[in-house]
Structure 1
Amino acid sequence: MHTPVELAKSYRLLNHGPTVLVTSAHNGQHNVMAAAWAMPLDFDPPKMLVIIDKATLTRELVDASGEFALNIPSRALAAQTLAVGSSSGRDGDKFANSGLQYFAASKIGAPLVEGCLGWLECKVIQEPHNQQTYDMFIGEVVAAHADPRAFENGHWQAEEDPQRRSIHYIAGGQFFATGEAFEVK
């Protein structure tokens, strides 16, 4: 289940620093990888930044297609997130091997991961120096979606079920889940 997110508020999907699943596709091949280094970069048009190592299949597919998606997994997907972050797409289909399911994006060729809390479809803004030197990709968000149980009207919703909270990778197979929400006025 997902609903559109207003592009002007799409940065809020990543503003709290969750681990993401980066999906890519080109010429009939697709891949998914985990990334802890992703963040919002700009508002208008909305832009995201993600680090994609040049040795990865994801990088090859992003370089060829000029697009990628950032998928925000929940705690329920932590084991699969670790699995796709610990293996190479060159060794087999990471979707099949991890059990992750996917569906078609609305504006790009990269697939979107089922069961995530939010999805950002991005077109690469070419910055060759940053891409080659720092493995840093800037993507303009062309579509954004969220599970309305988790994100609605431009805001994250308080989630009672701990399995439906976003996750933050801290190394060595360990994650934190997003904690309790509170408001300050």
Structure 2
Amino acid sequence: MKDLPLSDVYQLLEPGPVVLLTTFHNGRANVMTMSWHMMVEFTPPLVACVVSRVDYSFAALRATRECVIAVPAVKLAPKVVKIGNCSGREIDKFETLGLTPLPAECIAAPLIAECFANLECRVVEMRLVNKYDLFVLEVLKAWRDPVQRNPKTIHHRGYGVFVVDGETIRLRSLMP
């Protein structure tokens, strides 16, 4: 074994696919790229995520307490990276990057038509926001695009490196 810099630990433990988080605040929709998230509970579905206070979306999420987590397939990877490399303070990311906002059913933040799944969420826990920028979200409504079959997701490995979903294996599970 060899020493690993602590700043590189996150590259080993990235839990899930890169997603897009949309908000709607002060009459304006925004979208950001996010990879620091994890499932917390199955029923109701709870997701914990970190939205840095330096991100434009932080103030919107804190104020409105709602968002959409949109899951893009690998074909959107170039746009996902562009979304993460610019700020909603300066541009309308939906318009500039050619994303189609769709109305959500339960909240004001938009779904993203190009993503294969969209989760309408409401913030249910904010005790760790001030210290860690960590929000806990409850998924209120989930959407899936039936046209996008077997989509492959991207997973961030750090410093512009991504991994695409690989081979699927099925193993017997004793869990219900």
Q: Give me the identity figure in percent.
A: 34
Alignment-mate amino acid for residue 145 of structure 1: W
Residue 4 of structure 1 is matched in structure 2 by none
Q: Which amino acid aligns with 2:160?
A: G
CA distance in 2, matches of 1:167, 1:149: 19
Deviation for aligned residue 1:147:
2.2
Alpha-carbon separation, structure 1, partners of 2:45 and 2:100: 27
Which residues of 2 match residues 43-54 of structure 1 at below 5 A? 43-54=42-53
Which residue of 1 is the match for residue 101 of structure 2?
102
Q: What RMSD in Å do the two structures reach over aligned CA positions?
A: 1.5
Cα distance in structure 1, aligned partners of 2:48 and 2:85: 21
Alpha-carbon distance in 1 for matches of 2:61, 2:126: 13
Question: CA separation in 2, counterparts of 1:40 and 1:77?
Answer: 23
Q: CA separation in 2, counterparts of 1:101 and 1:172?
A: 28
- TM-score, normalization: structure 1? 0.80
Deviation at 1:28, TM superposition (A): 0.8
Q: For each residue in 1:16-58, what CA deviation from the matched residue of structure 2 results, as whole angstroms up to 9, or x when unmatched?
A: 7111101001231111000111111112222111110011111
Runs (4 or more) in structure 1 with deviation over 6 Å come to none
Distance 1:170 1:146 in 2: 26
5+ residue gaps, structure 2: 1-14
**Could you tell me whether the CA contact under 8 Å between 1:67 and 1:110 is conserved in 2?**
yes
SS at match of 1:88: coil
Aligned match of 1:7:
none
Q: Which amino acid aligns with 2:157?
A: I
Deviation at 1:80, TM superposition (A): 0.7
Partner of 1:177: 164
Q: State how 1:11-160 maps to structure 2 within 5 Å.
A: 17-128=16-127, 130-149=128-147, 159=150
Work out the number of aligned pairs and report it.
Answer: 158
Q: What is the TM-score with the length of structure 2 in the denominator?
A: 0.84
Counterpart residue identity of residue 131, structure 2: T
- Equivalent position amino acid for 2:51 in 1: I
SS of the residue corresponding to residue 171 of structure 2 reads coil
Q: Give the secondary structure class of the aligned counterpart of 1:90.
A: coil
Q: Is contact 1:75–1:167 with CA below 8 Å preserved after alignment?
A: yes
Structure 1: tracts of 5 or more residues without a match: 1-15, 151-156
Q: Which residue of 2 aligns with 1:153?
A: none
CA contact 1:117–1:166 (8 Å) conserved in 2: no
